[in-house]
A and B are shown apart, each in its own frame.
Chain A
Amino acid sequence: GEDVEQSLFLSVREGDSSVINCTYTDSSSTYLYWYKQEPGAGLQLLTYIFSNMDMKQDQRLTVLLNKKDKHLSLRIADTQTGDSAIYFCAESTGNRDDKIIFGKGTRLHILP
């Protein structure tokens, strides 16, 4: 069945780059997402990428997609304390009524 896997924890020094990795199983995935969840808050859509793209850049965020290996990554440049959160990788087929399948989330901890 559909599954999304990601590592649970990542610690990064302030100012360094953070790279969060994710793998997914559904070859029919059309949209791949990164959501951010700050403590006690909801799910904020950070960025998404179409499966026919291999890279998307949005300010400090870079998403890389290797469709052959079904591997997605999120790079956050110049990591700040405000980036401390849980980052969820997710996928869907892209039909408007289709569900999103989430990973367990990677908790990003920023070291001073």
Chain B
Amino acid sequence: EPEVTQTPSHQVTQMGQEVILRCVPISNHLYFYWYRQILGQKVEFLVSFYNNEISEKSEIFDDQFSVERPDGSNFTLKIRSTKLEDSAMYFCASTGRGSRNTQYFGPGTRLTVL
């Protein structure tokens, strides 16, 4: 069964450093998302992406964040200058054509900012 994959599974970085989190959505999907889950808290929406542009972004997704689909398979989330409060699990999701918004999630990347 096709699945969303994410790399790395765990990323440790120093405050102020740039990180890029990578996702490979399900191959025929067209809508892509990033969510994050701070430890013990809700899963929160960050951004949705369709047709090579952002569809919607939350207030969390400020100028330090950017997303890109650099080729036909990868979908990346970049944090330019990480802060301690960016430490969280980051989930990528994708959904395809059809009438259902059934988003399939990847296993997540745990980001630890020191």
Contacts and interface: CB of A to CB of B under 8 A. Distances in A.
Given A45-B103, A94-B101, 14 more contacts: A42-B105, A42-B106, A42-B107, A43-B93, A44-B105, A45-B104, A90-B43, A95-B101, A97-B31, A97-B50, A97-B55, A98-B56, A100-B93, A100-B101
A96 B48 CA distance: 10
Interface of A: 30-31, 33, 35, 41-45, 48, 88, 90, 92-105
Interface in B10-28: none
B42 A45 contact: no
A105 B41 CA distance: 9
Contacts, number: 67
Interface string B51-74: 000011010000000000000000
B84 to A, nearest CB: 22
B41 A99 contact: no
B95 A96 contact: yes
27 contacts: A30-B101, A33-B102, A42-B106, A42-B108, A43-B43, A43-B93, A43-B105, A43-B108, A44-B105, A45-B102, A45-B103, A48-B100, A94-B100, A94-B101, A95-B101, A96-B30, A96-B101, A97-B56, A98-B48, A98-B56, A99-B58, A100-B35, A100-B93, A100-B103, A102-B43, A102-B44, A105-B42
B75 interface: no
Contact of A43 (B55, B91, B99): B91
Contact of B101 (A42, A88, A98, A105): A98
A99 B100 contact: no
B5 to A, nearest CB: 10
A100 B94 CA distance: 12
Contacts of A101: 45
Nearest to A92: B101
A51 B100 CA distance: 12
